[in-house]
Structure 1
Amino acid sequence: MRPTSDLYAFQNLRLAVVMGTNEIASAVAVKLTGAGYRVVMAHDTFPPVIRRGMAFHDALYDDPVEVAGVVGERADGLLAIAAVLAQPARVAVTPLSLMELLAYRAADVLVDARMQKTRLTPDFRGLARLTIGMGPRFAVGVNCDIAVETRPSRAGLLLTEGETDAPDGVARRLGGVGRERFAYSDRSGLWRTPVDIGMWVPKAFVVGRHDGMPVAAPIEGVVRGMARDGVYAPAGVKLVEIDPRGRDACWTGLDERGLRLANACLQAISERPTVERLVAFG
């Protein structure tokens, strides 16, 4: 398809913008694509993405990425985004900021799936016809139209009023193991690692260096998540996740939690159709 045809189609398609490139955002992008939306994923550098085998994140580095039959491709501008979305079963992954992206046209649906537990979330309601907030720090009618709980005990619950639960610092259990399966950064600095996701590592094996200091595998198991080599990681974020489940370990595709949250997002759209209202760019 020619660029002019791609641009014309871009202006008329059902557009969903998903903020974030992590595994939850990627599950949402897969399900929205299956529901007939054309999806652009807007990258945010915080927090670093670790479950990259379940995410479209590495498309930002021009790596070939496919999640559940959907291909992610990097797109740096309007023409590139339009060209990607003109193809079937594709999502565009862009380093453009949300404001740069929405300057091209308004979104029908905007989903904030960045999972930023410690940062304030601005009001995005004027930027799309329907805005959905996933995770902590969302208040319906304040910074989103509808919210999705992500806390393990209430994952997938839709909120049409009130606020989502505040983060409690308790990691959901995987194979009977909670927070202790993660390695966290204790300072800010450059992260370097030669280890690939999917590798088996013993406990205490040095999987990388952060700000020059060694980071060891907290438990024995398969590397389920690993911040990409060469990224800057601030203090207090997850660098490594180990899956202790042996043959049942999972590090690619869509996991149960991601599917549950993505399906909740689709339910939110079906129960509250997009509204015609003035938006900032459109």
Structure 2
Amino acid sequence: MILIKGAGDLATGVAHRLKKCGFDIVMTEIAQPTTVRRTVAFSQAVYDKEVEVEGIKAILALKNDDIDNIISNGNIAVLVDEEAKIVDEIKPDVIIDAIIAKKNLGTHIDDAQIVIALGPGFTAGVDCNCVVETKRGHYLGKSIYNGNAIPDTGVPGNIGGYTNERIIRATDDGKIKPVSKIGDYVEKGDIVAYVNDTPIFAELNGIVRGMLQDGVYVYNTMKSGDIDPRCEKDHCFTISDKARSISGGVLEAILYLRHNQK
């Protein structure tokens, strides 16, 4: 049994690979997920009750008793449980912190036999047994058993020669109203969404790869979507190279730690 904290697109890439390898998966989420790449995120089950990503289905567990039934039917269970209190009930063998908060929100190395964390904010050997690198580049997906991931730079990864420009950011505090859908082609200067009556403009030409759910509350400058300058529409509906790389590092860590903890 593996419990994954968070069910965003990177967590989904991890869950998808582990499920295909035969592991039982439970994922926890907040009551109003803010995943921008929601077409490839199991967090969308919180809104839609169930979601399928590349042949793997995740179903919202409305109560803890639903988890066993969901898993026994070959699916991933998603539970609204911001503090992951379900840990005490199901006692997972592996816990993966995939919240990507860039800081530790409450994961401890003794929470399970194997504890893995994604990205900066954790120290392998102190907070967890392994940290998996999440920064794009040469070390993406590396399993770190002693030390830290590369510190957060605050600059989004380079895709097609663009970094900050590809991020759609809220222009006010309030509820977002998307104009463009995921998969739409937009040009620089197009209005892609509104927050209240304030427009959000595209800062480059490309395809909208991510966009928050209509009506989600945002704050000024909050990441609310992204534009992909590569203009490959299929990328909007498939797990990213980054998520696949990270999932490989997680799978390595589980197998390595299981072998070496005996």
1:123/1:96 Cα in 2 relative to 1: closer, same or farther (>3 Å)? closer
Query: Structure 1 residue 19 and structure 2 residue 26: aligned?
Result: no
| Counterpart secondary structure, 1:110 | strand
| Pick aligned residue for 1:136 from 92, 112, 120 | 120
Query: Structure 1 residue 125 and structure 2 residue 101: aligned?
Result: no
- Deviation per residue, 1:242-273 (Å, 9 max, x gap): 11113466111212111110011000001111
Shift of 1:187: 4.5
State the alpha-carbon separation in 2 of the partners of residues 241 and 146 from structure 1: 29
1:188/1:99 Cα in 2 relative to 1: closer, same or farther (>3 Å)? same
- Equivalent in the alignment of 1:190: 175
Query: Structure 1 residue 216 and structure 2 residue 198: aligned?
Result: no
Root-mean-square deviation (CA, aligned residues, Å) is 2.3
1:147/1:247 Cα in 2 relative to 1: closer, same or farther (>3 Å)? closer
Normalised TM-score (structure 2) = 0.91
Contact 1:186 1:236 in 2 (8 A): yes
- Equivalent in the alignment of 1:5: none
| Pick aligned residue for 2:132 from 139, 145, 148 | 148
1:116/1:274 Cα in 2 relative to 1: closer, same or farther (>3 Å)? farther
Query: Structure 1 residue 50 and structure 2 residue 36: aligned?
Result: yes
| Pick aligned residue for 2:65 from 65, 79, 98 | 79
* Structure 1 gap ranges (5+): 1-14, 277-282
Between 1:144-153 and 1:245-254, the stretch displaced more is 245-254
Normalised TM-score (structure 1) = 0.85
| Counterpart secondary structure, 2:10 | helix
| Counterpart secondary structure, 2:52 | strand
Contact 2:171 2:221 in 1 (8 A): yes
- Equivalent in the alignment of 1:62: 48
State the alpha-carbon separation in 2 of the partners of residues 275 and 99 from structure 1: 27
Aligned amino acid, residue 217 of structure 2:
Y
| Counterpart secondary structure, 1:73 | strand
Contact 1:50 1:227 in 2 (8 A): yes
- Deviation per residue, 1:83-103 (Å, 9 max, x gap): 111112x11111123443123
- Deviation per residue, 1:129-162 (Å, 9 max, x gap): 1110101101012211111011112211111111
1:274/1:134 Cα in 2 relative to 1: closer, same or farther (>3 Å)? farther
Query: Structure 1 residue 39 and structure 2 residue 25: aligned?
Result: yes
1:99/1:249 Cα in 2 relative to 1: closer, same or farther (>3 Å)? closer
State the alpha-carbon separation in 2 of the partners of residues 181 and 220 from structure 1: 9
Percent sequence identity is 28
Instruction: Write the mapping of 1:158-177 to structure 2, written as runs, cut at 5 A.
Output: 158-177=143-162
1:234/1:274 Cα in 2 relative to 1: closer, same or farther (>3 Å)? farther
1:112/1:180 Cα in 2 relative to 1: closer, same or farther (>3 Å)? same
Count residues in correspondence.
261
State the alpha-carbon separation in 2 of the partners of residues 94 and 204 from structure 1: 39
Query: Structure 1 residue 29 and structure 2 residue 3: aligned?
Result: no
Shift of 1:186: 4.8
Query: Structure 1 residue 199 and structure 2 residue 184: aligned?
Result: yes
State the alpha-carbon separation in 1 of the partners of residues 197 and 126 from structure 2: 42
Aligned amino acid, residue 134 of structure 2:
T
- Equivalent in the alignment of 2:100: 115
Between 1:134-143 and 1:206-215, the stretch displaced more is 206-215
More strand by percentage:
2
